[in-house]
Amino acid sequence: MRVGAVIITMGNRPDELRALLDSVAKQDGDKVEVVVVGNGSPVPDVPEAVRTIELPENLGIPGGRNVGIEAFGPSGRDVDILMFLDDDGLLALHDTAELCRQAFEADPELGIISFRIADPETGVTQRRHVPRLRAADPMRSSRVTTFLGGANAVRTKVFAEVGGLPDEFFYAHEETDLAWRALDAGWMIDYRSDMVLYHPTTAPSRHAVYHRMVARNRVWLARRNLPALLVPVYLGVWLLLTLVRRPSRPALKAWFGGFREGWTTSCGPRRPMKWRTVWRLTRLGRPPVI
């Protein structure tokens, strides 16, 4: 199976980007074709074999990745698999692309693979990087209901069937939006602990827009994808969880501002998932109310 890779960059981590590209070039098997998208910034120097696209403005994470997808033809059809990698990450092993080929070939229902993210210094995988509720053991691979945005592989047939990432989200929860649409179309998602991306340990709150966008996009996610009966349940649970976590006053103010924005602005097209998809999510351990 043909494998491509999409990397978006703000141009501010040239050394890390070069190291990542070197790790992609060292993958076993056929060559992985790479596209680097400069998201509102010039692309640093890259090897000649790497294609680059420089966007005049920052389209956000999903918008930038969607441009990368289309660089491989409509819905990425020029390849069978697309890997999405953070520009400050590093593929830890040389067999990741080959393992992706094997996994997708062996399971025709498999649509998305979520890699394990590990700190390069300590080898520790943060709990938030294991895309399931029972996250205590990051070394356990399993079926899951979402995936990690900067460390994954997607069968391009998924994009052809359900569309790309939601551009309007800009940052946060765009992966879950795609995951729910893929699951609703009958595709499955795996978390694989043996496919590793090294990435420095960070806190998502480092982004100034984190609290507002997390809240706004949570509302959009529910409004776009959930049956009407589940929308208030899902958002009510997340409101309670946010209060229990006791964020700072400025963070809580930003969160409520985003929550309000999620209700008062357009969320894009609404395509509620089937009730059998709700049951599938429940059987996989994460009913769409949390």
What is the pTM (predicted TM-score) of this model? 0.96
The interaxial angle of helices 275-283 and 174-184, nearest 10 deg, is: 110
Strand partners, 6: 35, 84
pLDDT band of 209, cuts 50, 70, 90: confident
Cα–Cα nearest to 8, from 49, 69, 98? 69
Residue showing tokens 């070394």? 139
- Would you say 240 and 199 are in contact if contact means Cβ atoms under 8 Å apart? no
Cα–Cα nearest to 179, from 141, 131, 227? 131
219-229 per-position pLDDT tens digit: 999 999 999 99
Residue 205 predicted with pLDDT over 80: no
Q: In the prediction, which pLDDT does 188 show?
A: 98
- Would you say 259 and 219 are in contact if contact means Cβ atoms under 8 Å apart? yes
Q: In the prediction, which pLDDT does 204 show?
A: 74
CA 64 to chain centre: 12
Residue 289 predicted with pLDDT over 60: yes
Q: What are phi and psi of 238, to 5 degrees?
A: -70, -30
Q: Where are the beta strands (DSSP E) in the chain?
A: 3-9, 33-38, 51-54, 81-85, 90-91, 110-118, 142-144, 151-155, 188-198
- Would you say 196 and 116 are in contact if contact means Cβ atoms under 8 Å apart? yes
Tell me the three state secondary structure of residue 155.
strand
Q: In the prediction, which pLDDT does 202 show?
A: 80
Q: In the prediction, which pLDDT does 20 show?
A: 98
Residue 152 predicted with pLDDT over 60: yes
pLDDT band of 206, cuts 50, 70, 90: low
